[in-house]
A and B are shown apart, each in its own frame.
Chain A
Amino acid sequence: MDQIGNIITLGLLLGGTYALVSVGLNLIFGVVRIINFAQGEFLMLGMYGAYFCYAFLGVDPYLGLLLVVPALGLFGMAVYALIMKPLQNEPIMQVFASFGLLLVLQNTMLAITKGLSFSINTPLSQEVVALGPIKISVSRLIVLAASAAVALLLGAFLNRTTFGQAIRAVAQDRKAAQLMGINVQKTYMVSFGIGTALAGLAGTLLTPIYTMSPYIGGNFIMAAFAVVVLGGLGSVLGAFIGGFIVGLTEAFAGYYIDPSLKHAVLFVIFIGVLVVKPSGLFGKAGAEEVGLREQS
């Protein structure tokens, strides 16, 4: 019974991590219609940004996010303006461009770090909360809380603000939104920026947990794509719930089957959901085709 409690806790904490990593990816896909392979590298930049703040400015990583998140947001907007916008009528080329960006960011960071890995080991990163036999890392608890907060705030932003409604309008029908006077390019750029900033937030909050390497983004991105597709393309709620489905699946498969098979189990479920409901659990039917249909 203790073990079941431990596994469920592990799954929820892991789910929070995946939800936080996926929500920005889902926003970029849902609104801008770009399958962004470089999202993991944006997360990696967030981690190194937090490390930079900690090692050179003496700023705790949790405070460092005040610098890192806006910086990543601006970086994302620049990436959209300089790389993605010129390719907006070439969706396949945008995917290749994001893959190229992935390689550029990885190799640039390799050149800077010369292959050495870095970690942050603060007293808070060692704190553990014990609920009877269940032990919970405070760092992971913070990630879980942040994922819930981000899902709520992003949902409120998209539903209750004028700009959020403009983003939803562009996501639903770009041409109609344009006819209604919405600046589509600005909406795309800001959405890409928010998606990148959210990756930066995830990276910053994960810094106390992992040892950084230029390739660390790849550790998260496969599962994040599974979360986005399972939850439903373009759905914030879908990314949040999908994160927990993936987290719990990995936790149970890792403990009861084999840790080295947990991704295999996850992707069997992933394929099953795709076959039964291609739009994902919370996505609207046909959403997976919208981007291509609009741009064709």
Chain B
Amino acid sequence: MKWAFTQKAAAFAVTALLATTALAQDKPLKIGAIIPNTGGMAVLGNDLGNWYEIAVQQRNANGGLLGRKIELVRGDAVNPQEAIAAVERLVGREGTEIVIGTIASSLSQAASEAALSNNVLFWETGSLAKDLTERGLPNFVRSGPSTVNFAKTAADAVLNMLAGELGKAPKDLKVWMEHESSNYGTSLAEEQQRVLKEAGVKVERLGHAASAVDLTDSILRAKKFNPDIWLISGYVGDTHLLLRTAREQGFAPSAVILVGLGDSRETVEAIGQDYLQGILVVTYPRHEVNSSYARGADELSALYVEKYRQQPVGNSGFGGYVGLNILFNAIEAAKTTKWEAVVAAAKTLDAPVGTFANGYGVHFDDKMQNTRANPIVYQWQGDKTVAVFPDVARKEGVKLKSLARP
């Protein structure tokens, strides 16, 4: 009698376990995305969300992840408070197992801490602040570049492309770095200065408020220094004001590099295509890149246009597509969505630069920063920007055009 009862109980338990497992496998794997859909970052936020959707759609078409269909749940946030509330809602009410995002470091910082409180992974694909990985948050991983990657790419371009182009040894080069004075611009400029000074380049650095009404004083000081290269790390408004003032004041260094922006319709509208010719822009890779470096980028851009009936807004959202694919690989390796296991699995990923559709590779350092997520350098040539550095990213037949300012 007792044996029969035990047999029945065991059979019931096995049935229940199988049923639960089947249910779990039927249950979609929900990923929450913190992206601003309103406010000043809405355009970039929607673009990032669109790229996430394409990544999820493709993965689901190939069988999903861990045998489950992936479901993307968007959480709107335009400030840190809203980011925290969005994470609480996504995890607590929607049942998302992982949170991804964002396009702003302030959102990322708040959302990732809220994700840790909710015991889920936070996978950052876009925000740049160096501090995000420096603070040692254990559930935080960044698949995209940080300001350090941007600064290093800009400094590499100065040392390994422009020095030769200008016919000068690094020790004979003079670089003037102009940056907006918040954490973003300052951290970029400090890293650029460090790398360039180590190479013997003469460097001067000057900060300004992004809200400055006039920047003629900065231009006059730069003009007095008479640099070969002018490196600008700013936001949209102040970068445009600097370029306009430089044109007015006849400040024409041999080369101009804009870090982080300067390849959009907004810059053409503000400055004019003629003046932009030859200017270099350090940004995320997507368009006009060698197909052996960024495999499938053109096809994916075409897919985006077909799906959303518009061009991608910029290149940063595409990094979100790639970042989400790297996350899929980490989850597959971990065989679970538990953050400790995914972080451990991510550490084992190893792919060379040029593996993913925007040229990223994968190798996470101890702070879970992907060290193979590199921006590249474009140059304004005609009505578009084309990749010119590193050489492997440059399309066949593309040459660095004259750097001279009109």
Number of interchain pairs (Cβ within 8 Å): 106
Closest residue to A256 on the B side, CB-wise? B217
CA distance A210 to B237 in the complex (A): 7
Say yes or no: B42 contacts A251, CB within 8 Å: no
Whether A135 contacts B248 by the Cβ 8 Å rule is: yes
Decide if B266 touches A116 in the complex (CB within 8 Å): yes
Chain A CB within 8 A of B405 CB: no
Report the bound CA distance from A163 to B255 in whole Å.
58
Instruction: Determine the residue in chain A with the shortest Cβ distance to B247.
Output: A126
For residue A293, CB closer than 8 A to chain B, the reply is no
Q: A119-B240, A211-B237, A260-B181 are in contact. Are A219 and B270 (CB under 8 A)?
A: no
B201-241 CB contact bits vs A (8 Å, 1 = yes)? 00000111101111111101100100000000000110011
Residues B214 and A10 in contact, CB atoms below 8 Å apart: yes
Q: Is the CB of A128 within 8 A of B217?
A: no
Closest CB in chain A relative to B208 CB, distance in Å: 4
With A and B bound together, what is the CA distance between A6 and B237 in angstroms? Answer: 23
Interface string of A187-220 (1 = CB under 8 A from B): 0000000000000000000000111011110111
The answer to whether B63 has its CB under 8 Å from any CB of chain A is: no
CB-CB contacts below 8 Å: A1-46 with B: 3, 6-7, 10, 13-14, 17-18
Nearest Cβ distance between residue B127 and chain A, in whole angstroms? 16
Asked if A110 and B208 make an inter-chain contact with CB atoms under 8 angstroms apart, the answer reads no
A121 on interface, CB distance cutoff 8 Å: yes
User: A130 — nearest CB in chain B belongs to which residue?
Assistant: B250
Q: Which of A135, A215, A223, A259 contacts B206 (CB 8 A)?
A: A259
Q: How far is the CB of A202 from chain B (nearest CB, A)?
A: 12
Task: Tell me, in angstroms, the Cα distance from A13 to B220 when the chains sit together.
Answer: 15
Structural contact, A259 and B207, CB atoms closer than 8 A: yes
Residues of A within 8 A of B224 (CB): 3
Q: Which of B42, B217, B221, B269 contacts A121 (CB 8 A)?
A: B269
In the complex, A214 Cα to B41 Cα: how many Å? 12
For A251, what are the chain B residues with a Cβ–Cβ distance below 8 Å?
214, 216-217
Residues of B within 8 A of A96 (CB): none
Does chain A have a CB within 8 A of B39?
Answer: yes
A115 contacts B220, C-beta separation under 8 Å: no
A251 to B212, CA, bound (A): 12
Q: How many angstroms from the CA of A214 to the CA of B40 in the assembled complex?
A: 8
Residue of B nearest to A129 (CB): B248
- Residue among A110, A126, A214 making CB contact with B272, cutoff 8 Å: A126
Instruction: Decide yes or no whether B400 CB sits under 8 A from chain A.
Output: no
Tell whether A137 pairs with B218 under 8 Å between CB atoms, given A118-B269, A119-B270, A211-B240.
Answer: no
In chain A, positions 235-274 with a C-beta closer than 8 Å to chain B are: 250-251, 254-255, 258-260, 262-263
* A18-B213 Cα distance, complex, nearest whole Å: 10
With A119-B266, A216-B237: A128-B248 Cβ-Cβ less than 8 Å: yes
Interface centre among A215, A254, A255, A263 (most CB of B within 10 A): A254
Please give me the residue from chain A that is nearest to B41 by CB atom: A115
A residues less than 8 Å from B217 (CB atoms): 7, 10, 250-251, 254-255, 259, 262
User: Can you name the residue of chain B whose Cβ is closest to the Cβ of A134?
Assistant: B249
Complex interface bits, B165-190 against A, C-beta within 8 A gives 1, otherwise 0: 00000000000000001000000000
How many Å lie between the Cα of A216 and that of B213 in the bound state? Answer: 9
Contact of A263 among B43, B209, B218, B249 (CB under 8 A): B209
Which residues of A lie under 8 Å from residue B208 when comparing CB positions?
A: 259-260
Partner among A13, A219, A254 whose Cβ is within 8 Å of the Cβ of B218: A254
- Residues B269 and A135 in contact, CB atoms below 8 Å apart: no
In the assembled complex, which residues on chain B have CB atoms less than 8 Å from the CB atom of A3?
A: 220, 224
B316 CB to closest chain A CB (Å) equals 14
Q: Is the Cβ of B213 less than 8 Å from the Cβ of A220?
A: yes
Does chain B have a CB within 8 A of A160? no
Chain B's closest residue to A122 (CB) is: B272
Complex CA–CA separation, A197 to B250 (angstroms): 35
Measured in the bound complex, the distance between the Cα atoms of B270 and A209 in whole Å is: 9
- B271 located at the interface, meaning its Cβ lies under 8 Å from any Cβ of chain A in the complex: yes
Decide: B39 and A223 in contact? CB cutoff 8 A. Answer: no
B237: chain A residues within 8 A (beta carbon): 117, 210-211, 213, 216, 219
Q: Are B249 and A135 in contact (CB under 8 A)?
A: yes
CA distance A6 to B223 in the complex (A): 12
Determine how close the nearest CB of chain A comes to the CB of B190; give it in whole angstroms: 14
- B244 touches A (CB below 8 Å): yes
Q: Are A259 and B212 in contact (CB under 8 A)?
A: yes
By Cβ-Cβ distance, the 6 closest A-B pairs, closest first, are A254-B217, A119-B270, A115-B40, A255-B217, A260-B181, A259-B208
Chain A to chain B contacts (Cβ below 8 Å), 26 pairs: A10-B220, A18-B213, A110-B39, A110-B40, A115-B40, A115-B41, A115-B43, A115-B44, A116-B43, A117-B270, A121-B271, A126-B272, A211-B236, A211-B240, A211-B266, A213-B236, A213-B237, A218-B211, A250-B214, A259-B206, A259-B207, A259-B208, A259-B218, A260-B181, A260-B209, A262-B217
Having A209-B241, A223-B213, A250-B217, one finds 19 other A-B pairs with CB under 8 Å, namely A10-B220, A110-B38, A115-B41, A115-B44, A117-B270, A118-B266, A121-B269, A128-B248, A210-B241, A211-B237, A211-B241, A213-B237, A216-B237, A219-B211, A219-B237, A251-B217, A255-B221, A260-B208, A262-B217
| B interface residues, Cβ below 8 angstroms from A | 38-44, 181, 206-209, 211-218, 220-221, 224, 236-237, 240-241, 244, 247-250, 266, 269-272
